[in-house]
Structure 1
Amino acid sequence: MMNKTIQEALNWASSFLAERELEQPVAEWLLRHYLQMSRTQLLMSLREPLAEDIFLRLNEDLNRHASGIPVQHIIGYEEFFGRRFEVNEHVLIPRPETEELVVQVLERKKAIFHTRPIKLVDVGTGSGAISITLALEDPTIDVRAIDISSDALTVANRNGNKLGANVTFTHGDLLQPLIKVKQKVDVVVSNPPYIPLTDAKTLMTHVRDHEPHLALFGGEDGLDLYRRFMEELPKVLNETGIVAFEVGVGQAEVVRKMLADVFPNAITEIKVDINGKERMVSAFGNMTVRAI
């Protein structure tokens, strides 16, 4: 049998995915992974023959993906902020929209604290994508990351070591590790579980059956973790600070009101992501709490 060219294999794989209403870029991601090529290198090599064993591997992995396994679990990583993060069934796969949360935190930190060293905590760190990226992008930030999952922290630690990030990883529930030792921070950032349990049946099988439910679901209405944050944030935030959350679709105004109620002197803000959806909510400035 004559070997297919890379272009022919890519066309075949794209048709395979389209017929099953799956994302067609998966074919390119798999081929780039096998061949260890950048996108530019792959496009420049389209007329070259593809080894038969690589094509058979492509066929096998596409069928695995069609059965519900995320492509990131097949190749073992996801790109975030231009860096490669290991992912598996114990951590949420980082989404491109979360990169915008990181950018917002970096910009807000620069505007409020300028070059002054600060303490920041990333709650529910998962793979460590947010905490590690912040530590690498701004080494003046003293970064701590917390997760309730020991398995997730193992992955985050490996990512931190591979990428050379100075992050302190801590096992614990929300902000409890800081509250217990009465440690204060300047910034709290989190992409907590926010999917309502009532939406579970509507999720794609790649998400519902292969990503950790602990990192996906936030109670019946998806807001359980934000409610807990409102109780714990005043115990850890310094007087001048930043809180930055990622939220689910339709939750932004509710979470903003929660923050405004707890921190009446702070500026609260909702920002849209690249898709025009309200996905980032923050409070910043004077974080003194409402008198009871």
Structure 2
Amino acid sequence: MSKQSVKIYEALQWASSFLKERNREEYAGELLLRHYAGLTRASMLARMRDELDSGVWADLQEAVKRHAEGEPVQYIIGSEEFYGRRFEVNEHVLIPRPETEELVYWTLKRIEKLFAAEPVELVDVGTGSGAISVTLKLERPELKVSATDLSPYALDVARKNAARLGADIDFIEGDLLQPLISQGKKADVVISNPPYIPVADQAWMSEIVTEHEPHLALFAGEDGLDLYRRFMEELPLVLKERALVGFEIGAGQGEAVAGLLKNVFPQANVDIVFDLNGKDRMVFVEIS
């Protein structure tokens, strides 16, 4: 469809069918149309027979083709929703997933139970876009939140998100918990959604993920557990006597990660938590 004058419903039909023919989600066409036209879903539905601005139509066609070739919609749009807030994303950070919202939810519940109204120092390790650290700070402003990442480019994104959303966070460049260890800092809570995908899984994963999202944030050795093993060496050096650790994990990794934690913290309460899809998705350890 190349004509200059198209109505919104025609543009939507073209985008959806173009993507469907190329085995992409049809709904992505609507997301891109609404983004470039500056429409909510309700306003789009109300204006279906309005003509689309020719510049918007040109931008939409280019964006739909980019997505058809594998570029994630979130990178094209430049943002993703997380816990009811909009986070800027680009190729330097992982796109926040709904499962990670559950990690945030259960972390907040456990902090409330373990620490009540006490001051709590929390560190988000491998913060990426800052979705976890910023959300925790905004949901519970009294938390003292630090966030680390190995990538300076990811930290740039996280800082921008924190500033735009009004979250006061101490961002530190460094590998896992090394920044805290080198400064002799201790934490009450350590939260992380580390890379956990086995390298071999790359063979069957969508190229939307493997060719666009940062491999540094995705893959972790042959079994996907490399980063958790490193955490086991570093956690005892930074945790206070009473502490909470929460990890997001890959489905099927619950028992393995729980076993690693039980070896290091034999007296602690280790809990595997399943997500809304019934998959083991989080492991928490409460140390008291």
TM-score (norm 1): 0.94
Q: Is the 8 A contact 1:112 1:285 kept in 2?
A: no
| Equivalent residue number for residue 138 of structure 2 | 136
Q: Is 1:181 aligned to 2:197, yes or no?
A: no
Within 5 A, what are the aligned runs for 1:40-59? 40-59=42-61
Task: Tell me which moved more, 50-59 or 176-185.
Answer: 50-59
CA distance in 2, matches of 1:271, 1:253: 11
- List per-residue Cα deviations over 1:45-87 (Å, max 9, x = no partner): 3333322332222111111111111111111111111111111
* One-letter code aligned to 1:245: F
- Does residue 265 (structure 1) correspond to residue 267 (structure 2)? The answer is yes
- RMSD after superposition: 1.4
Matches within 5 A, 1:246-261: 246-261=248-263
Letter in 2 for 1:21: N
C-alpha distance in structure 2 between counterparts of 1:234 and 1:140, whole Å: 25
State the partner residue of 1:290: none
Number of aligned residue pairs: 286
Aligned with 2:121: secondary structure?
Answer: strand
Percent identity for Structure 1 against Structure 2: 57
* Residue pair 1:116, 1:140 contacting (<8 A) in 2 also: no
- The aligned counterpart of 1:74 is 76
CA displacement 1:150-199 (0-9 Å, x = unmatched)? 11111111111111111100011110111112211110000001111111
Q: Deviations over 1:15-40 (max 9, x none)?
A: 21122111222112111211222223
- Out of 215, 237, 240, the position equivalent to 2:239 is 237
- 1:198 aligned counterpart, secondary structure: helix
Structure 1 segments, 4+ long, off by >4 Å, are none
Task: Name the CA distance, whole Å, in 2 between partners of 1:15 and 1:102.
Answer: 36
Q: Tell me the CA shift for residue 2 of structure 1.
A: 7.8
2:227 paired residue number: 225
Equivalent residue for 1:119? 121
1:9 alignment partner, SS class: helix
**Greater Cα shift, 201-210 or 166-175:** 201-210
Q: Which moved more, 1:164-173 or 1:83-92?
A: 83-92
Ranges in structure 1 where 5+ consecutive residues have no aligned partner: 287-292
Alignment of 1:151-230 (within 5 A): 151-230=153-232
**Distance of 1:44 and 1:280 partners within structure 2:** 42
Structure 2 unmatched ranges of 5 or more: none
3-state SS of 1:174 partner: coil
